[in-house]
Structure 1
Amino acid sequence: MKHHDVEKFLHGQGLQEVARTKKAIGFSVDGGQAEVYVNTETMSDNNTLIIHPHYASMKSELLTIPGVIASTAEYRFSSNYRHFPKARTNAGKDNHHGIPFGFTSSSALKELLEAINAVVTESA
């Protein structure tokens, strides 16, 4: 899925837009801190959605969802992901980061969102 399709889908699912730059759009389930970002600068379909790094322990599980595409990078770094924590990049600089995913279908995206939303709901 292209980034504009992911953005449209998130709006349609009722997620609230909580941050926007030219390169990224942050969405929240409950209007608080962003749990996901749409990477609007990507030309690739395999890193259109960036999820919060506190979901790192779920990555293997999320990749078993049919239609979820693994990115070639373990993390995606960008100063535009301001709601996410910083980590050290390969270049030795600290920058905001998240876990990149892509999707072949909206049903795969929906299933991933349901999985991370279950974690948000459990921790509330």
Structure 2
Amino acid sequence: FKIDRKTGAVILTGEIDYEKAKVLQVDIEATDNGGLSDSSKIIIDIIDINDNRPQVKILSKSEYILENAPESTVVAMLSVNDPDSEKNGEVRCRINDEIPFKIENAIGGFYSLVTEVALDREVDAQYNITVSC
């Protein structure tokens, strides 16, 4: 920060990142030509913006699934985290609607990719699944 000597305006001179500091304190001291001075503190609450992408990690996955595996067979477990706070940190994951799989939201940013129905190898032998968060 810097202070405009004529107006007293406190001006931001660098970047602020909510994830590094949620509150900033600026100590200000003013001195007149006669040598008298006073000081004060300005406390600045930083408001988070949506500046971080969600981070998706595959915790486990199955390379192969039996075609007679029942509905809700777990294919993969994912961990999804967004460092932003509050609404900016809320994450929803989705997959293509045209495949027989679904994403189930678990507690604390964990997701399961599961079969939506029993699979039939004669209909489709493999699937390319993209999870978007």
Instruction: Decide: shared fold, TM above 0.5.
Output: no
**TM-score under structure 2 length normalisation:** 0.27
Larger Rg: 2
Larger proportion of helix: 1
Larger proportion of strand: 2
Give the structure, 1 or 2, with the largest relative contact order (CA under 8 Å, sep 6 or more).
1
